[in-house]
């Protein structure tokens, strides 16, 4: 039996812990929570989470000091710590970096950025991909290619296409969501991987590209999540 992935949410605000919990709701992780720095440090030592999202302004000694204690402990320092900084405190990110955080975010949080930074450390922190089929135009390196979306989430899509676009390439997408607004959607994206023989990452999928959305407009992200929710509830 595989080990359950555990994520610690450390924030003295129950409201913000609830928001972060909702962001992770469709991911296969177990959430544990702490509302002050002493409890957070104790839980990292005793519960062994796979990563931590921690508020900089955490009650007690603060998230920065707690992160520093984690990173100074040889038995704990490998645990990724993402510090959540306050919007009106521009000095916090630099302090967080000096205290050893692996990454930081700034409130107000959005689902896409929250999951994207977590996925740097835990591959499974991603939204469920919903089968969805519609044509897509992808433009990259001055060329335009046709493709077909096969599955979709708020973070990206798998695009069936014979286009040879290297992983890491920046691209632009144009598409219309099925049963959504008639307006064509355009957004920036990044090619994360190719599905190609003889070693396809998804053997049961055709030739194609794993696409990550970049700076997806909030309205489009909501429309994608709404589409996914409608399909999953059928």
Question: Please, what is the average pLDDT of the chain?
Answer: 89
pLDDT value for 127:
66
Q: How confident is the model at residue 125 (pLDDT cuts 50, 70, 90)?
A: confident
pLDDT 10s digits, 209-221: 999 888 777 777 7
pLDDT of 28 strictly over 90: no
Order across the sheet with 81-85: list the strands: 29-34, 5-10, 51-55, 81-85, 103-106
Beta bridge partners of 185: 175
How many Å apart are CA 212 and CA 195, to the nearest integer?
A: 14
Beta bridge partners of 29: 5
Q: How confident is the model at residue 1 (pLDDT cuts 50, 70, 90)?
A: very low
pLDDT of 231 strictly over 70: no
The conformation of residue 109, written as its DSSP 8-state character, comes to P
Task: Report the Cα 116 to chain-centroid distance in Å.
Answer: 2
Backbone angles phi, psi at 170, to 5 degrees: -80, 145
- Set out the domains of the chain in order of their start, with CATH numbers: 5-119 (3.40.50.2300), 130-232 (2.40.10.220)
- pTM listed for this prediction: 0.64
pLDDT value for 233:
46
pLDDT 10s digits, 169-195: 999 999 998 876 667 889 999 898 899
pLDDT value for 6:
95
Please state, for a pLDDT cut of 90, what percent of the chain lies above it. 60
Selection from 16, 18, 65, 15 nearest residue 40 by Cα: 65
């Amino acid at each position: 039996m595989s080990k359950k992935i555990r994520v610690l949410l450390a924030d003295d605000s129950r409201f913000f812990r609830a928001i972060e919990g909702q962001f992770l709701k469709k991911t296969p992780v177990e959430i544990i929570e702490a509302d002050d720095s002493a409890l957070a440090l104790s839980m990292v030592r005793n519960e062994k989470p796979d990563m931590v999202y921690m508020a900089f302004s955490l009650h007690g000694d603060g998230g920065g000091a707690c992160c520093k204690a984690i990173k100074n402990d040889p038995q704990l320092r490998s645990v990724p710590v993402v510090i959540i900084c306050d919007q009106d405190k521009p000095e916090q990110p630099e302090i967080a970096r000096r205290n050893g955080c692996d990454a930081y975010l700034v409130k107000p949080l959005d689902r896409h950025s929250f999951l994207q930074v977590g996925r740097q450390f835990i591959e499974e922190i991603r939204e469920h991909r919903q089968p969805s089929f519609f044509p897509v135009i992808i433009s990259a390196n001055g060329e335009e290619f046709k493709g077909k979306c096969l599955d979709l989430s708020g973070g990206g899509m798998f695009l069936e296409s014979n286009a040879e676009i290297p992983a890491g390439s920046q691209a632009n997408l144009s598409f219309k969501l099925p049963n959504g607004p008639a307006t064509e959607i355009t957004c920036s994206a990044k090619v994360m991987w190719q599905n190609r023989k003889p070693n396809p990452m998804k053997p049961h999928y055709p030739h194609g590209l794993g696409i990550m959305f970049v700076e997806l407009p909030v309205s489009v992200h909501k429309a994608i999540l709404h589409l996914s929710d409608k399909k999953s509830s059928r």
